[in-house]
Structure 1
Amino acid sequence: MSKQHQDYDAILKLLLVGDSGVGKSCLMVRYSDDLYSGTYISTIGVDFKVKTVMHDGCTIKLMIWDTAGQEKFRSMTASYYRDAHGVMVVYDVTDPTSFSHVQTWLTEIDSTCQDIVKILVGNKTDSPLRKISKTEGEACARKYNLNLYETSAKLDLNVTEAFTELVDQVMERKRTLECRPRGNTILVKKEKKKRNKDCSCME
C-alpha cells in the first residue's frame, strides 16, 4: 500500500446507478453525511462522497460515486464501472418505469465489468404513492441473483444496511480473490502491527 494510503486497509469504489430521480443522491448523502434534502437537482455527470468505515477490524475508505441517470450521460457513466468494486442499482418504488429499467442497467454493468458486486435497492418506501410491491422487487432480485434492500432516504430506513451489505460482499469477494489458494499455499500478505488479521489480504 502506498504511503498516502497507509491509514487504510482497503479503498473501495462504489457506484450508485439507476434512472434519474430515483433518489441516488439522497441515498449517498444520507449515508455519508446523515443528511436529507428533498430539493436535489439531477446529477450532472457524476458526484461523489468519501466515507471511512470499520469492517471486521479493518479501516475501509469508501469512494461513493453517484452517477447521472439521464441517457445523455450514459457513456460517461459507463467509464466509471471499469475500476469499481461494487454497484447499487436503484429504482423508485413509485415509478414503474425505473423498475422496468433495472434489467437495462444490469445489462450495461455486465457488459462493462466482468467481476463486480451488485445489489438491488428500491427507494422511496415512505411514499404513499408506491406502485412496485416488495414482492415484485424480491422476484426481480431472485431473477438476477441479487440481494434486495427497500430504503427510504427521507426516513433513513435501511440506508446504512444496504451500504453495509454492499461493503460486506465486496470485502468477501476481495478475500476470495486475493487470498486464493495456490497449490498447498494460501497467499496472505504479512500482517502489519496493530492490524486485525482479517485485513491482511486487503492491503
Structure 2
Amino acid sequence: MSNLYGDYNQKIDYVFKVVLIGDSAVGKTQLLARFARNEFSMDSKATIGVEFQTKTLIIDNKTVKAQIWDTAGQERYRAVTSAYYRGAVGAMLVFDMTKRQSFDHMARWLEELRGHADKNIVIMLIGNKCDLAALRAVPTEDAQEFAQRENLFFMETSALESTNVETAFLTILTEIYRIISKKTLSANDDTDPNGSSGLLKGTRIVVPDMDHTEKKGGCCV
C-alpha cells in the first residue's frame, strides 16, 4: 500500500476529475470522506452547493491526482449541472440500497449526466450502505441488470464499514488511466519536431472512445 499513494510534492502526471451524483442522503459525501481522508461522520449534514476533495495516488508508476466533486442531491441545487460536469472524465452514480426511490432515480441522473458530460466518460453505479443488509430494498440483481444495460461498472459499498470504497474509486480511476495512457501512446506517434507530445501531462484530458471497453461489476457479500 505504501506504493499506492503519491508524495504531494511529486510531479503530477495526470489530473482526473470525477463527479458524484445521486439523490440527497444516499451517502455521496461520506463515500468521498472515506476515500479522501478515511473518515466517516455519523452526524453528516446535507451538502450545500458543490465541494471537492483531492487525493494523489500512483497508478502504473504515474502520479495521478484525483479531484472528486460532490454536489447536493436536492432538486433546488440542480442548476449547477453544466459547470459541475465540465471536464469530468469519470462519474459515480450513487444510490442508497435501502431506499428504492433513490435507485429508481438513477435513470434520470444518468440521462442528465450524459446530457452534460463528455459522451465517453467512465461511469460506475454505486449501491451504498450495503452494511444495512436487513433493510435492503434494491436487489443486487436489479442494479447489476441496470448497469449491464447501460454499460456501467457496478459495485456495492459501505462508507460506514469502508467496504469496497477504495476499490470502487481505484477501479474507476484505473480505468480512466488505462484509456488515457492508450491515447498518450498513440499521440506519441504524432510528436512534433521539438519533441512535444500531442498531449500535455498534468492537464485534464478528454477520454477517448470507449465503445469497446469491457465493463466489470462487483459487490460486497
TM range (shorter): 0.7 to 0.9
Structure 1 residue 187: Cα displacement:
4.2
Q: Deviations over 1:21-63 (max 9, x none)?
A: 1000000000001011121111111111111111110111111
Partner SS for 2:55: strand
Q: Is the 8 A contact 1:9 1:58 kept in 2?
A: yes
SS state at 1:43 partner: coil
- Pair 1:101-2:81 in alignment: no
Alignment match, 1:176: 182
Q: Residue 139 of structure 2 corresponds to which residue in structure 1? A: 133
Contact kept, 8 Å, 1:89 with 1:119, in 2: the verdict is: yes
Matched, 1:186 2:192: no
Closer/same/farther in 2, CA of residues 172 and 187 from structure 1, 3 Å limit:
farther
Aligned pair 1:21/2:25, yes or no?
yes
- Distance in 1, Cα, partners of 2:79 & 2:147: 26
Q: Which residue does the alignment assign to 2:4?
A: none
Q: Kindly indicate whether the alpha-carbon contact (under 8 Å) linking 2:81 and 2:116 is maintained by their aligned counterparts in 1.
A: no
The TM-score normalised by the length of structure 1 is 0.85
1:67 and 1:77 in contact (8 A); partners too? no
Measured after TM superposition, the shift of residue 107 of structure 1 is 0.6
What is the Cα deviation at residue 188 of structure 1? 6.5
Provide the rounded CA distance (Å) in 2 between the counterparts of 1:81 and 1:148.
20
CA distance in 2, matches of 1:6, 1:164: 19
In the alignment, the residues of structure 2 paired with residue 137 and residue 121 of structure 1 have an alpha-carbon distance, to the nearest angstrom, of 9
1:13/1:84 contact within 8 Å kept: yes
Q: Give me the TM-score of the superposition, normalised by structure 2.
A: 0.79
Aligned-residue Cα RMSD (Å) equals: 2.2
Aligned residues of 2:97 and 2:130 also touching (Cα < 8 A): yes
Aligned partner of 1:163 in structure 2 is: 169
| Residue matched to 1:196 | none
SS of residue in 2 equivalent to 1:120: strand
Partner in structure 2 of residue 117 of structure 1: 122
| 1:53 equivalent in alignment to 2:61 | no
Match of 1:125, SS?
coil
Structure 1 CA distance for aligned equivalents of residues 191 and 98 of structure 2 = 47
Number of residue-to-residue matches in the alignment: 188
Deviation at 1:6, TM superposition (A): 7.3
Pair 1:153-2:153 in alignment: no
Tell me which amino acid in the other structure corresponds to 1:66: D
Structure 2: distance between partners of 1:152 and 1:188: 45
What does 1:31-110 correspond to in 2, within 5 Å? 31-110=35-114
Determine helix, strand or coil for the equivalent of 2:115.
helix
Structure 1 unaligned spans of 5+: 192-199
Following TM superposition, by how much is the alpha carbon of 1:115 offset from its aligned partner in structure 2, in angstroms? 2.6
Q: What secondary structure does 1:179 align onto?
A: helix
